[in-house]
Amino acid sequence: MFQLFENKKRKEYTLASPATGIIVPLEKVPDPLFSTKMLGEGIAVQPLEGKIYAPADGKIIQVIDTLHAISMITDFGAELIVHVGLDSVKMNGGPFTPHVKNDDTVKRGDLLLTVDLKAIEDAGFQTVTPVIVCNISDYEKFISINEQSVNAGDTILTLIEKKR
């Protein structure tokens, strides 16, 4: 007697770079909240210009009051945080201009924030921008690109869903 096995390939999803810049592996982000992956898995970008874009299609869950971070859920279910700068929360929104609000629907590449990177640096903070997947238990594997230059919209992280 033969038994048929269904060989389903697990779905893969991609996240785009939220900015033009240089890839920074999460482990090298100089903040233990990110480098130890307390918030989740991901990758970071050192932005070279002050425009932050949506890494995927989805819905804005929250524009943080201090405007330094945005949480969203992608159309494929990933719960993301795009966090601009380290300790930039202390700037109370000063260098950030939001282009989205809570409950907005966005497409990959839509402008989320404009940021005065020089103001952040002049205040003594770093501008590195982590993109974090918070619901890591929904995914079996995360594949990030190596350190290199990227343009906003380039794929930087692939998520492979768990077997169901």
Catalytic residue among 24, 74, 83, 112: 83
Structure tokens at 42: 């991901």
List strand residue ranges (DSSP E) for the chain, in order. Answer: 12-16, 21-25, 41-47, 51-53, 58-63, 69-74, 79-83, 96-98, 105-106, 111-115, 129-133, 139-144, 149-150, 155-161
Reduced to 3 states (helix: H, G, I; strand: E, B; else coil), residue 6 is: coil
Does the active-site annotation cover 99? no
Backbone phi, psi, residue 70, to 5°: -135, 135
- 3-class SS at 149? strand
Q: Say if residues 15 and 159 touch (Cβ distance below 8 Å).
A: yes
Active site residues: 83
